[in-house]
Amino acid sequence: MTECSFGITGKDFVLLASDQSAGRSIIKMKSDENKIRQLSPSLCMAYGGEPGDTENFVDFVERNLRLYQIRHNIELAPAPASAYIRRILAEAIRSRRPYVVSLLLGGYDKIKDESHLYWMDPYGTKVKVPYTANGLGIYVALSTMDKYWYPDITREEAGQLLKRCIDEVKLRLAYQFSFNAVEIDKDGVREYKLDGSA
Amino acid sequence: MGSPMEMNGGSVIAMTGKDCVAIASDLRLGQQAVGLSADFEKVFPINNQLYVGLPGFATDTYTLREHLRFRVNMYRMKEEREITPKTFAHLLSSTLYEKRFGPYFIEPVIAGIPAPSAIDPDPKPFICNMDTIGCITTPKDFVVAGTATDKLYGVAEGLWEPDLEPEDLFETISQTLLAAVDRDCISGWGAVVHVITKDKIITRHLKGRMD
């Protein structure tokens, strides 16, 4: 799987970044595909995996979270949303047709005033982490994050750290990736400008 | 992909002492050789006197923990009393055997002290482990599970002795776990130890080698 995504949390925000390539095997057919989906007002998912499964899975999750919001008139907080998403994956893995989807889930809990980041794989393994990577990114950027991340990191430094990770990808991976990113905080989800990462 | 049992890594151990038991786990969660988290606990409280360790495939650790939480809550409401370690062991055993031909990839470890009752006023500490399909083993000394099983057996065999007091038991189980996981690539990254006595539980987090 030739995807690559990153997540970094600070005290009151989460940064999610993902590569934008779409293709099959060694062929890249598109380099501006958005692979970060907003699921609810303050919840986002950066996903990768089998192309057909990903779109189907993300649509399913998005619509069910929307349905919850309409029924209960409140959005599902990141922690319960992560449990819900994990359950779909965990039940599917032992079914006839599993979803081959791995993802990073980033969100902001407005009630508890906390930022949340979850790493999930297609088996339904879920871990809450302060910073993480998915896909090829784990091999080149986790040590960069280990070195530069610290608790309550500022937005500026988290942005710089993200830049370092993307630079590392360019330096060490044979694949050419372009990235997009979002920033999630108490005010919702915004696009995060990555300068010079074409 | 390797075997699910060795995909995420992690180990659990439980030991008996004099009127006390201890249960401990490492804190690593990985994807093969890549470490992802250093605070993934594999030991969970069931009630004030009973803990269960669920090492193995991490997705099943989570699924089983949630399922057991549901089953134990239902038991508590229906019976209006806490589940005893022995009953809980059989509950977990049959839960695992239900999935006989597509098992949860978990080798559970249970440690607890039963509450005194009319039939059994002075209950003995209880430990046991199981295979992935729920076959229970109840040794007198210690039980181990997870990817560092063979190393844990070796060290525990050398360090454990009968009738340890809670603090000595804590030292024994901690040294056993830390020594064993240092020889296992996919276990370690710190540890958590619970010592259960008749009137209290002592929980301590240990620092370990981070390599």
Residue B19 carries which DSSP code? S
pLDDT grade for A95, boundaries at 50, 70 and 90: very high
Total number of domains in chain A: 1
**Residue A25, in any domain of the structure:** yes
User: Inter-chain contact B62–A90, Cβ cutoff 8 Å?
Assistant: yes
Summarize pLDDT for A28-38 with one digit per residue, the tens. 899 999 999 99
**Residue A101, in any domain of the structure:** yes
Burial of B71 (0-12, 13-18, 19+ CB in 10 A): middle
**Residue A96, in any domain of the structure:** yes
Contact status of B175 with chain A (Cβ, < 8 Å): no
pLDDT grade for A197, boundaries at 50, 70 and 90: very low
**Residue A31, in any domain of the structure:** yes
Summarize pLDDT for A50-84 with one digit per residue, the tens. 999 999 999 999 999 999 999 999 999 999 999 99
pLDDT for the residue numbered A1: 59
Cα-Cα-Cα-Cα dihedral sign, residues A79, A84, A90, A93: negative
pLDDT for the residue numbered A198: 42
List the alpha helices (DSSP H) in B54-194: 58-79, 85-97, 149-159, 166-181
Whole-number average pLDDT of chain B: 96
Which domain range does residue A171 map to?
Answer: 4-191
Q: How many pairs of residues across A and B have Cβ atoms under 8 Å apart?
A: 41
**Residue A88, in any domain of the structure:** yes
Which domain CATH number covers A64? 3.60.20.10
Whole-number average pLDDT of chain A: 94
Q: Closest approach of chain A CAs to the CA of B132, in angstroms?
A: 16
CB contact set of B27 (below 8 Å; sequence gap of 6+): B37, B38, B39, B40, B41, B189, B190, B191, B192, B208
pLDDT grade for B2, boundaries at 50, 70 and 90: confident
| Closest to B171 in 3D by CA, of B26, B35, B6, B22 | B22
**Residue A22, in any domain of the structure:** yes
Place of tokens 């790493």: A119
Summarize pLDDT for B110-167 with one digit per residue, the tens. 999 999 999 889 999 999 999 999 999 999 999 999 999 999 999 999 999 999 999 9
pLDDT grade for A25, boundaries at 50, 70 and 90: confident
**Residue A150, in any domain of the structure:** yes
Average pLDDT of the residues in B160-186: 97
User: Which of B8, B34, B102 is closest, CB to CB, to A125?
Assistant: B8
| B8, B59, B60, B67, best to mutate vs chain A, most A CBs in 10 Å | B59
Contact status of B40 with chain A (Cβ, < 8 Å): yes
Give CA A120 to chain center in angstroms.
9
Average pLDDT of the residues in A40-55: 95
Q: Closest approach of chain B CAs to the CA of A142, in angstroms?
A: 9
**Residue A197, in any domain of the structure:** no
pLDDT for the residue numbered B138: 97
